[in-house]
Amino acid sequence: MLQEVIFAGFGGQGVLTIAKNVAYSAMLEGKETCWMPTYGPEMRGGTCGCTVSVSDKMISSPILAKYDVGVILNLPSMDKYEPKIKSGGLIIWESTTITDGPKRGDVKSIPIPAYDIAVELGSTLVMGMVLLGAFIQKTESITIDSVLEALRKTLPARRHNLIPLNETALRKGYEYASKI
Amino acid sequence: MGEIHLMKGNEALAEASIRAGLDAYFGYPITPQSEILEYFSRELPKKGIAFVQAESEVASINMVYGAAGCGKRVMTSTSSPGFSLMMEGVSYIACAELPCVLVNVQRGGPGLGTIQPSQGDYFQAVKGGGHGDYHMIVLAPNSVQEMADMPSIGFELAEKYRIPVLILADGALGQMMEKVEFKEYPKKNIEQNWATVGKPEKRDANVITSLFIESEVMEQVNIKLQKKYEQITEEVEDCELYHADDAEVFIVAYGISSRLAKKAVDLSREKGVRAGLIRPKILWPFPTKVIQKYATQAKGFISLEMSAGQMIEDVKLSLDGSVKSKHYGRMGGMIPAPEDILKEIESML
């Protein structure tokens, strides 16, 4: 089992954080995992991407040319990463702000209005968590329980009051994706 | 088993260095290793350990020279262009026989280059880099776990042989997060009667210098250094072998490329091609004896590097024409694909 995923969006949308949650959760589940940001001369408002590999064997390369799954949070990232998803792969994308979905016919498109759902929950900050919930529903590479444990371990105690909101966002995303 | 953390290679290296008994760190920021400096800037002052962000790499390495002369466990870290700036100081430290740990998280060169990972600094690391006849012991981690393991190993070797030890990593190892477990690292247990820590009445003053004006003296200093390097070449070797026992084609690879090589070996084995991997965890001294041992059963060797081909020279010197060998690699931050490495393996049969 090896799953190679790209998370991408604007800097500040939480791309690195949701990717880290996936890696941390996979680690808690005893899997091999590697988290690698696309670091470069990134500009404010530009794209920010992060690769996460999850496997039962040692990960050979943290830097990838093709991905099994893309979790896409903005239009520039859709343009950049749609061609890099493997044939038969999956694109989970934020459909409130991205107007054009994937154009390819050989990948599965999962539009999630994560922004709208996050607004309904009272905070746009949990948009990434909504998409993470959808990711978990579609890929089953980790569980919601592991993400919650990861949050308890990685968030400082003074931020633990935010965990219930994050859990709701995860479950909302999961629920929405289960209908697609 | 201790607690398992998810950390960047840079952070794991910094944390492990503190646990290994670091006394002082001097550095200057440069991508892709700035997290090392950032981690130290946050953690060292809390523990009363010296931290200085120097005004340049030239200053950092000379601060290391000074602190190492006092017998302290000291370190600096940088990335390729910064390491070039340090070369003069490294040569001085090697001549003055001071222990220290240096870190080069390589990025693509030459020049200011790119900030993406590369292995283009192999020559600089193992062949000197600075002026004069000197060596550093060069360690090559290939995972975040080994980024954490190497500082302690580095300090031990540096102190045992009074030599600068270089941890040669790359941007991928520095930036990626993997699981890591910190071990119990041995405390310093070596007498350093050469250190400049104040002169007691009953012995002569210790002098730390790399200046020996008289030719006769300078030659003797060189002879002594070369004897030490010979001894290290005899005593120090560390290789990981993968499917080596029955292999006909060997990949020699270190650092991040060794992981791609492992994948290519797996792909070969699935196709019935007997490929194997020799991964030097220590690049200088080079594991010549290991290469020679497996040369007797091999049809060919491939040196896989993210460079134009540098380690291939040491592979060829070790083989001494006995078996064919070639280089394969990508440059400028590009990563070789395991499928392409597989084609190279098949071309050696």
Average confidence score pLDDT of chain A: 94
Q: Could you read off the pLDDT of A101-159 as tens digits, one per residue?
A: 999 999 999 999 999 999 999 999 999 999 999 999 999 999 999 999 999 998 999 99
CA distance linking residue B271 with residue B297, whole number of Å: 20
Least CB–CB distance from A61: residue in B4, B179, B260 = B260
Q: Is the pLDDT of residue A62 over 90?
A: no
Q: What confidence tens digit (pLDDT) does each residue in A76-101 have?
A: 999 999 999 999 999 999 999 999 89
Residue type at B112 in one-letter notation: L
Tell me, yes or no, if A12 comes closer than 8 A to chain B by beta carbon. no
Which chain A residue has the Cα nearest residue B261? Answer: A60
Beta carbon pairs, A and B, within 8 Å: 56
Structure tokens at B234: 């005899």
Residue of B30, B170, B178, B257 best to disrupt the A interface, most CBs of A under 10 A? B178
Do the domains B239-347 and B4-196+226-233 match in fold?
A: yes
- The angle that helices B144-161 and B215-235 make with each other, rounded to 10 degrees, is 130
Answer whether CATH 3.40.50.920 is correct for domain B239-347. yes
Asked if B308 and B328 count as a contact pair (C-beta separation under 8 A), the reply is no
What is the CATH topology of the domain spanning A2-178?
Answer: Pyruvate-ferredoxin Oxidoreductase; domain 3 (3.40.920)
If pLDDT is split at 50, 70 and 90, which confidence band does A38 have? confident
Nearest to A35 by CA among B7, B183, B134, B298: B7
> What pLDDT does B2 receive?
76
**What is residue A58's predicted lDDT score, i.e. its pLDDT?**
87
Q: Looking at residues B202-231, what average pLDDT do you find? A: 97
Share of chain B above pLDDT 70, in %: 100
Question: Which amino acid is present at B89?
Answer: G
DSSP lists the bridge partners of residue B276 as B250
Show the tokens assigned to A54.
């999850």
Per-residue pLDDT, B1? 54
Is pLDDT above 80 for A44? no
Please list every residue in chain B whose beta carbon sits closer than 8 Å to the beta carbon of residue A39: 31-32, 115, 171, 175
Per the CB < 8 Å rule, is B171 touching A61?
no
Residue B142, pLDDT > 60, answer yes
Cα torsion B111, B112, B113, B117: sign: positive
Domain ranges of chain B: 4-196+226-233, 239-347
Which chain A residue shows the shortest CA-CA distance from B172? A62
User: Could you read off the pLDDT of B159-210 as tens digits, one per residue?
Assistant: 999 999 999 999 999 999 999 999 999 998 898 999 999 999 999 999 999 9
The average confidence (pLDDT) of chain B is: 96
CA distances from B345 to A174, B186, B245, B349 (A): 45, 41, 17, 7
User: What average pLDDT score do residues B34-46 get?
Assistant: 98
* pLDDT (tens digit per residue) in A146-161: 999 999 998 999 999 9
Whether residue A73 lies within 8 A of chain B, CB to CB, comes out as no
**What CA–CA distance (Å, rounded) separates A48 from A42?**
7
Of the partner residues A20, A27, A61, the one whose CB lies closest to the CB of residue B4: A27
Q: Is A20 on the interface with B (CB under 8 A)?
A: yes
pLDDT at position A143, please?
96
d(CA B306, CA B315): 15
Query: Which DSSP letter does residue A33 get?
Result: E
* CA-based nearest residue to A37, from A69, A60, A14, A3: A14
Mean pLDDT in residue range B79-100: 98
Domain B4-196+226-233, classified CATH 3.40.50.970, yes or no: yes
Report ipTM (2 d.p.). 0.92
Share of chain A above pLDDT 70, in %: 99
Q: Which of B93, B94, B114, B118 is nearest to B104 (CA)?
A: B118
For residues B71-85, give the mean pLDDT.
98
C-alpha span between B26 and A106 (Å, rounded)? 53
What is the sign, positive or negative, of the torsion defined by CA atoms of B252, B108, B260, B344? negative
Q: Specify the higher pLDDT residue, A38 or B11.
A: B11
In this prediction, residue A11 carries a pLDDT of 84
